[in-house]
Structure 1
């Protein structure tokens, strides 16, 4: 038992016990250097009786190549790769350099999960110094750690704290075990056990005070000062600097042994062959190995006695010693099999600018990026820029490095790199705009940077300037400031004589803001209908919102379908979630709430796997139409300020369904008043319905006039039908209801059609035409309850009761008893998917899918997959 760590040991052994029972998990040990993380890792590995133990560790002093740590961990089981499905097998082979291509890091994560769980017996993964894992490995390992709850797998990470900003944010979401200092009694016991000699009480108390309960400090102090020094109380290292103890030990090591230690510290791969070849180049003799053995183990793999020992060795070495070590390692590394490691060692050996080495690093960055190692590419480019003498080439490399850092979430490093460049360079503004947008911080709006770049480019590159204005508009739609951005875009350079689609869209949006939808519709309508146009490939979200503005459901659905399909085909976990969210919204309008839940579940699975924030707007829309007030209130309260208008519109939909028209009118008023692209138009019919029910006829008439202008300019069935039943509401016009229903009958807009029948049935019932009202209300109730729009369905049922007829009772939809993820799994299984196929789709392990299926069977009273297939619909 480790002194003073009984609770921590119990927690780790509990993790092992749970993994033995098939309830795997992960734990992150966190604490300052020397606090006992490595000792606990050794203990849990020793306690893992019957487990296969696999190890990996990060290294501070080399920018690890992509997936290097993952390869280190998986090396013992790589023989099982052939048993994986072909896409997963190839993803790992590409990641480990056994094949060429560009692996997606999360497909690698799924493949790693399969590799680890499809084996006999329990497994323990031990990852030390995890704060220095390469980014690609970190993503894959954390992905696995989040998905072993139904497996016989335990994962223990050790993280040194504090670490620099932006270092390995992925680990933040895993269960943590912070390690504090030892208590006074335990610290005293550990110190006395290490000294085993009489010690003056005053000296002992001083040592305990200096060590502050840090176990490694208590063990290293006697080794550093010796009994004589400790007896006098002299020569103790400064408080809180545990590495100082190792540094003091290094002062007693002969120069040859210190050079050998520096070589070992500079090459964290730990390959003895490379080490001894490099040592031979530097003239280090065999005697040096014996003199260095107190700090490092020279076996089949080179291992330091403690991670802090390696850190102390490297930091203590002079700059010249480190350069000599890296130069020797570069000379003995294989330039064909391992060109990137050669480039990295050569870069570390350079004392000043060296274009040849910088060019090698740039090539390494390209190779790393092709293998999914964006973080490694960023590090190569950053170092390449430092070694570049040519000013223009250096700027390009710094910009490339900043963009790569931005891509992997190292926002502070990206900002620091950009701060070294000329602030008047428009390329810097473009990256700063992206950085501001992804950070979601207050202060300057991200679109402002793009507008500044656009103005600077206007004279020298008009085409690029116009593209920047359009990008600024898209950001303005989602991050705020849309009106100001549109006003600024009026100053864009004139379009060329043969305008591109981007030029047409920019001019159309400026026309929309200055002259209104009637003038802009003829410009925008044709390009929006071409959902595969290049302008939408780059800016799909903007195209989606323009389609909403024009009430063009075919364009909206077509754009969403294309983006989702393209994202899935490319394996892009940037594009696919956007496409799924767009398609879920379109599917809700079509009345298939079950399919929408399936898409939302997949989008959220990707977000959870990648650590990104889920795109919440389709869930907001879905929840509003389902009509569950408490569920909606919880969801709406948790969204950020950038979603305020979406929440106001959804609140109007929700409360119109619940017949709380006063609340619906206030929410719709706020959504309409802001005038945002797309959302303001969608809120108008909600405002009209609520205002009519509240007796605010003039308010409804004004909103109807605005809605008529918007929908007739678009000229599409969706808008024309909504305008027709809204007009009927305001003017008591029966023909408007009939027109809306006639327009919607052949369309896929089932919920819109259901609401038209509901409003018409309510109007007929109020006129005393009960028989006609029943027919409309029955249709409305059937469509609404079939879709799962519970509040609107209950409103229809109430109206039916008022006519003297009770709505036909329907069994509660399965989705009412299942989570969104369970609905998705149930639908996939009902379509015939196996557990492995579902697991790959949702980034889970097959055993986790089976655990969800057991919950689904229990909730629905089923006993087999075949019964799932027999359900009329899981929605």
Structure 2
């Protein structure tokens, strides 16, 4: 049951570290969180280190049997039948068993019989025990628990798996990657509990919860629930009394509700019982009093079908009261809070579809159709339902009708990938709604900008009744300027727009944030994106959620704040309100997310995200990252250097200078030297109004020609623009050029500096793989280097690696020669920094390799 390279390794390392310093450890967590497995892993770790270990387990069925836990562990047993052992005899037997430096590992310590607890606490008073105990959360804490009797101690909680760890578990069981949206849903519905994740991955393929399509595992159902999963959930709710069972069922049906509503629906004592059993959580990430809901959410799926009939009545009465539902969270929830709010969002979305459908059915019009269309798309409704609304909604000479046609055109172009049908919708609208020509022409230009090329500015004068026309024409003009890097002109246009509609306000804000980013004011751009992203979540506007999330991920990644960027991307991809959307911002988030995962040394998760990019109906978009082919999907390949350069040229011909410059940097880092498209992109960037593009253009030009002095100047320009990630990438390229010029020591110093200055990025070992690839250690040299930080002597290294001491010394010499780093201490340092190995680090499908001679 070794998990030393798995999702539990971090907590096992943490516990082992405490034990090594002489501290007792109390491991707490709910059922299905991996507590028992962690106990087994820590026992194996301690035994491997040479410490004697005594393993004991509690069991609720044995709690009334004196010394049951100790007897089950083989303490005080007798080969022949006889009278029950006395307290003194059992204590003596336990003391003998614990003679020396034995460490006690006790699983389910909260279920120990009181006699065994007494014996262990008595031994601890006589001579201090060193123990690792595990239990569920106890609220309130029992007076006779073992955890109060063994000290000094620290408390460690079982881990809640993040999306990358959930993917690691699922991939190991399923044998293949999981689609990104499905992976996020598995993470949310299981609450990141290891046992439930394993249950879904194991049972899923046999029950239809998970289906394999094009090499990817997906959740075709909305809830990810099947009756066969009841066996995994029932242990979590075992032991509830009838009132708690009723209350839990009611919460399952209503979904998470504000605290004051929860107290009206069920008695406070019932809520307290659910909290005490770890089955309910109170998220403070929502407005007002926060949200109360079942945790993990899978419990709710179970109780909806298996719960109490009286609880269903309670929920029905509550829902009939039509109390106000809360908005989306205003903060960035994590872990259990995110799971609760995700569950809440699903309930709200279903309610919104019902309300909007009733209103449209009673009075079909553009006014009532638009809310229904948005709600249907949010819930991944079938195409025919949206087409029914289009067919049955009368077209009147109104602003709302023109805006509805713009919505249909965008849906057909981006969601269905049918640009021709989208243009037909707008052309028909132009002939039938001449009063709103500005709105429709602006929508057509915006659609062309999003999917084909930078169009000419429409020359149309808005009619007095056409209020949205001037707004969307202004947006198109700002888009055109920004795409060329003309940030000052774009700002002037944006400041002159005073939009009134929610979507136009959001689009103006998105472009304003992009202007901040391209101007090098990244902190302002990040704050601006976060502010508008939260507003979009509150309004449940999926299109704006995606747009502002993309902006946030882009800005954070450029600033080198990789962990934050990854969190924003995950939150968006797992959000119920955007789950059905597959627009260009969604492609951008997936592409940037995959690149961030590669930079963090998480290639498997990167592939999982990249696999979704190929499903985009529109393969190219105007902004950085909106290129479906730039990251190789699981079943595909990376573009060749020739294809990448041609893609830069295509972007330039379409008028997307900004997107072309980002691709040009990718190209030179992958090995492109002088190329007409790269040269053209670099020149346009340097001449632009954007400090960020100026630095990137100078970087691309210097890297392509091997100009070390020019590269140093580009790094300064990028640093002034706050683009830490490109500063780091350019420094790595500089180190490679130094190595090719024969300055290995200087290259090592450059990499040292780059590592230290990129600390803000957190885990960034993947960024440095280009340098490691260029150094090219052999497999044996790599093994020797990995063991150096442990302080091994050459003789001990030789023993561990089954080679002679002389061979080890030869390898160390070769490592120093290749890296430009001498001395064991410095080699050990680089082995834990820029030469650190990537876990499961297969970069064959996505590594970026720079060599000036390729």
TM-score, with length taken from structure 2: 0.47
TM-score, with length taken from structure 1: 0.46
**Which structure has the larger Rg over C-alpha atoms?**
1
